[in-house]
Every structure is written in structure tokens, then in C-alpha cells.
């Protein structure tokens, strides 16, 4: 018998409530504080489930600079027709566009950093969302 499993991506940061609200608004989900006050979960429809954890010694990743690893990367999938609007929403909520220096012309995946410095991509689906 196989045990039913699920997974949750946990992002570390200095202010988990603020970052959880950023992702909750961006993903149309809810931020939920559990029994552990330094861990906030973001849960919503369409399989959204991630957690934000306070790290008192947090230092943001420096990726795409080569001296440090990326640490984690969230990929948010949208319909191609919604890509520009999704980018506007992310920036309005506090995301910062990033560049790896390899992009050229129109592209179907856009790289950002969240307010705590984690990288994430908004990308066009190859299937219907």
C-alpha cells in the first residue's frame, strides 16, 4: 500500500506574514497562520499550497549572480493570453522584474524576485490552465 503524500514548498524570510500576503494575493489564495506563529501557509484552489517560515538570520539569495545558488524557484503557470496581465499584477504587488541576461525579444516566461528576494517565474502554460 502506498501512503498518500503531498508536498509544500517552504520559503524562508525575515517577515513571513508579509511574504505570505504577497503570495496569497498573487495566487488568489488565503494566508493561514497555524499553531506555529513563525510559519504561515498559503492555500487556495487549483493546488496552491506553500508555506513561509521565519528565519531570524535570513539573507536573500543573490541568484542570478554566479557566486550563489538559486536556493528555490517557484514557477507560476498562466494562460499565454494572461501573461502580460499576470506580470502587471505581480509588479503591482511588489515583485521586481529580474534578468539573467539571456532573454531576447518576446518571451513566454518572465523572471521576478518576490519582496523577500526569492526568484519566481510567471510562465505561459503549454496546456490550458
pLDDT band at 58; cut points 50, 70, 90:
confident
Domains of the chain: 9-124 (3.10.180.10)
61 pLDDT higher than 90: no
pLDDT band at 86; cut points 50, 70, 90:
very high
Q: Which residue has the higher pLDDT, 38 or 104?
A: 38
The whole-number pLDDT of residue 32 equals: 92
The whole-number pLDDT of residue 104 equals: 52
30: nearest Cα among 15, 46, 14 = 46
Contacts for 106-115: CB closer than 8 Å, 24+ residues apart: 108/80, 108/83, 110/83, 113/60, 114/11, 114/19, 114/22, 114/23, 115/18, 115/19, 115/22
The whole-number pLDDT of residue 129 equals: 45
Q: Which of 42-51, 66-75, 94-103 has the lowest mean pLDDT?
A: 66-75
Q: For residues 70 and 63, is the Cβ–Cβ distance under 8 A?
A: yes
Amino acid at each position: 500500500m502506498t501512503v498518500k503524500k503531498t508536498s509544500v514548498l517552504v520559503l524562508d524570510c525575515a517577515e513571513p506574514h508579509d511574504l505570505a500576503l504577497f503570495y496569497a494575493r498573487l495566487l488568489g489564495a488565503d494566508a493561514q497562520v497555524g499553531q506555529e506563529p513563525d510559519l504561515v501557509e498559503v492555500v487556495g484552489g487549483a493546488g496552491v499550497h506553500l508555506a513561509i517560515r521565519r528565519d531570524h538570520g535570513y539573507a536573500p539569495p543573490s541568484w542570478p549572480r554566479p557566486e550563489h545558488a538559486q536556493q528555490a524557484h517557484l514557477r507560476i503557470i498562466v494562460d499565454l493570453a494572461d501573461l502580460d496581465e499576470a506580470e502587471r499584477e505581480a509588479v503591482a504587488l511588489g515583485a521586481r522584474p529580474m534578468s539573467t541576461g539571456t532573454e531576447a525579444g518576446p518571451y513566454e516566461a518572465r523572471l521576478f524576485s518576490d519582496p523577500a528576494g526569492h526568484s519566481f517565474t510567471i510562465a505561459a502554460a503549454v496546456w490550458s490552465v
